[in-house]
Structure 1
Amino acid sequence: MTDLVLLHGGNHGSWCWGPFVEALNQQPGGFERVITLDMPGCGKKRGRDVVSLRLDDVVEELNQDLHVLGVSQAVLLGHSIAGAVLPRMVLAAPQLFSHLVFLACALPDEGQSILQLLGSTLHGESPDHVGWPLDPVHSTPQAMAVAMFGQDLSPPTLEWLLGEVSQDTTPLCVATGSISREGYAGMIPASYIITLRDNILPVHWQRRFAQRAGAEEVIEIDTAHEPFVSHPQLLAEVVRGFERHR
């Protein structure tokens, strides 16, 4: 058995995996440990000054967290903008990981940042940019958060999620830093999970990201962007497969 390491996306923290980890633990066996990481400023690391951090600083801290826990050859699963971080974690410390799983992850082109990838238009308006579900210039942060994260969630669950999201500060460098994956291709096996009803990353973009990730396996699930909250049992069954097929 091996460890499963989980890395959240933007304006989230380790808290977001709670329903998924609970579902995963309902079936005995599987992974040795489930480890939930926090980027600086998020989850258990809230309140940190993250303004001056570089992307390499974030990568180094996350890998150091795993070194402290004695992790080796783990399955590393990341969500959303964690797609900018996962390959760099492998490049910096390949001995820590045996398999990468990209869950509805955004992967910028070489030298591009997440914000450059997203652009400033609505979905479908620019062939070169992912776009947004609402006008990013004139929409309120609350309305944008509901549009991005609110699919398939009950009002109490959405209230909980938005309350947590409002307290997390993802390091700006993760969104604004130019991303390089030079040397990453073929280092370790990779899989990509496409969320078919995603209101943040349209499916055709996710297919493109799966190619950039070098994913040998692409799995499609009929969920919105946050299946660890909206469909934790379904996601748990998919992720258990990565341990069974080792």
Structure 2
Amino acid sequence: MQWEPKNYKMEVSTLWSFPERGNWATHNSEYRGNWSPYIPRNVIFRYSKKNDIVLDQFMGSGTTLIETKLLERRGIGVEINPNAIKIAKKNLDFDKNREYEPRIYNGDARKLNFIPNNSIDLICTHPPYANIIRYSNGIRGDLSNYDIDEFIIQMGFVAKESFRVLKDDKYCAILIGDIRKSKHIIPLGFKTMEKYLETGFILKEIVIKEQHNCKSTNFWYKKSIQYNFLLIAHEYLFIFRKPKI
């Protein structure tokens, strides 16, 4: 098994583009909406060191935790959906670096009461984009079932918990994109960013990540022209720092 990407180089600009999604170790694209492993790999390499504790409170299929295990960090994954946890555990079932097996919790990103204050070295996460993809049916507190306005309110609680558990002068990285409704853009990314800034985080970087799975087929090309809208082909990776109080 290939344990790392070939010819890997750390990103050094604010524009990230990964035409090849990445399939080393157990990474795969079977879980709808999961992010390219190049993103957590870059974040973990740049903003943490060996044995640091890295949290992903929207664990999904475990992409971030695969990288914490490979890169010898102490991963913590939180996921509200038990079905996603089963998928993540399967993806994490490989022999390399068994001593760095992540801890996984079935929990709510807004209520991390099992994680002490100021105990996390890095947060690296990819929340749902409101209810664009509904990951469950009937799971109370699953943010992928919230409409836009309520989603933004709830992300404020996520931001507060992130601020509480993160150590001073450490970083929180969150990937989120905008959405379209009635042919107009809803700036979900910037609305989420505002919640983190209101909580007390300082904005370190804004990375523009190109979306290569954008549906630029002939069908969508024609729709774009016919109904006068542009296809969304980017996401935002916000890097926040928790200042020393």
Is the TM value for this pair above 0.5?
A: no
TM-score of the two chains, using structure 1 as the length reference: 0.37
Higher strand share: 2
TM-score of the two chains, using structure 2 as the length reference: 0.37
Higher helix share: 1
